[in-house]
């Protein structure tokens, strides 16, 4: 009995060490399991979010800009998600974004060309400011005498009072649609009668002396 009592502390120490060793081990194993489950849950969330975002981009229901969509797509691709439906979505979204990018670039180019054309036209119009101002003055003359005086002065810039005046009413596919052609004299008197100048000079043909031989106007 005494022998056992002497050995008791040693036995208790052994039990304690064994308890710590096995207890710690089992706790470590459950932590690892927990971490693994957490990682799996995080991955699953990431995959679900990726699918959701890809579907939204494919259906055009996101309010992200094209750049933001490309960025998000790159991020999703960097996840290397090994699921066929995600891979398929990535291919579809990539194609859609490429088409949209091409369209946006084409639209931007068209806008640039349109602005360049408008600027060119404005510069050309500036050349005709003097003529436009003369016509507007006739239209807004205060009396018949004043208008007639302006008409006589303005007719001097034409070769003859019968110079053709063409009025573009519309431009469709690069083709001009005209009103019935008139003459310089009749057009200037028309401005006097109607008391409005709602046109802009589109083009002018001149002879060697600089006098107008043909005038083309466009309706504003």
Partner 1 sequence: MKNITYSVLFLLGILFVLPATAQEQLNPKRKQAIDSLALEKVRDLSKYITIIGSKDTPWSEANRVIDRAEELFMQGSEIGVSSLLRPQIAYYGVRKYFERLMRLNYSKVEIQWYKIDYVSDLQRQPDGTYVGVITVFQKFKGYNKEGNLVYQDTTKKDITVYVKRKETQIGGRMIGFWDVLLGDMRVKETQK
Closer to partner 1 by Cβ: residue 6 or 145: 145
| Shortest distance in whole angstroms from residue 164 CB to partner 1 | 5
Closer to partner 1 by Cβ: residue 60 or 181: 181
| Shortest distance in whole angstroms from residue 213 CB to partner 1 | 8
Q: Which two tokens stand for residue 95?
A: 């194609």
167: phi then psi, degrees, rounded to nearest 5: -115, 115
What is the DSSP track for 3-60? HHHHHHHHHHHHHHHHHHHHHHHHHHHHHHHHHHHHHHHHHHHHHHHHHHHHHHHHHT
Q: What is the dihedral of CA 20, 21, 24, 30, to 10 degrees?
A: -140
| Shortest distance in whole angstroms from residue 209 CB to partner 1 | 17
Closer to partner 1 by Cβ: residue 89 or 215: 215
Closer to partner 1 by Cβ: residue 22 or 178: 178
Closer to partner 1 by Cβ: residue 36 or 186: 186
Question: Which value, in Å, is the radius of gyration of the alpha carbons in the chain?
Answer: 43
| Shortest distance in whole angstroms from residue 153 CB to partner 1 | 19
Contact (CB, 8 A) for 188 and 216: no
**Contacts to partner 1 by CB under 8 A:** 144, 164, 166, 169-170, 172-173, 175, 177-181, 186, 189-190, 193-195, 205, 213-214
| Shortest distance in whole angstroms from residue 189 CB to partner 1 | 7
Q: Is 173 left (phi over 0), alpha (psi -120 to 50) or beta?
A: left
């Amino acid at each position: 009995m005494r022998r056992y009592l002497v050995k008791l502390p040693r036995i208790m120490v052994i039990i304690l060490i064994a308890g710590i060793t096995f207890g710690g081990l089992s706790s470590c194993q459950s932590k690892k399991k927990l971490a693994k489950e957490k990682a799996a849950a995080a991955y699953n969330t990431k995959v679900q979010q990726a699918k959701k975002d890809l579907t939204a981009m494919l259906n055009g229901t996101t309010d992200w800009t094209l750049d933001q969509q490309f960025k998000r797509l790159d991020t999703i691709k960097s996840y290397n998600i090994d699921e066929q439906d995600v891979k398929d979505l990535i291919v579809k979204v990539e194609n859609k974004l490429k088409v949209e990018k091409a369209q946006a670039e084409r639209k931007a180019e068209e806008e640039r060309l349109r602005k360049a054309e408008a600027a060119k036209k404005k510069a050309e119009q500036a050349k005709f400011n003097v003529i436009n101002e003369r016509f507007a003055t006739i239209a807004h003359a205060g009396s018949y005498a004043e208008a007639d005086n302006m008409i006589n002065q303005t007719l001097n810039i034409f070769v003859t009072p019968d110079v053709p005046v063409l009025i573009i009413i519309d431009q469709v596919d690069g083709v001009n649609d005209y009103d019935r052609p008139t003459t310089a004299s009749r057009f200037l008197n028309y401005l006097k009668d109607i008391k409005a100048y709602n046109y802009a000079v589109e083009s002018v043909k001149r002879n060697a002396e600089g006098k107008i031989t043909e005038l083309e106007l466009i309706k504003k």
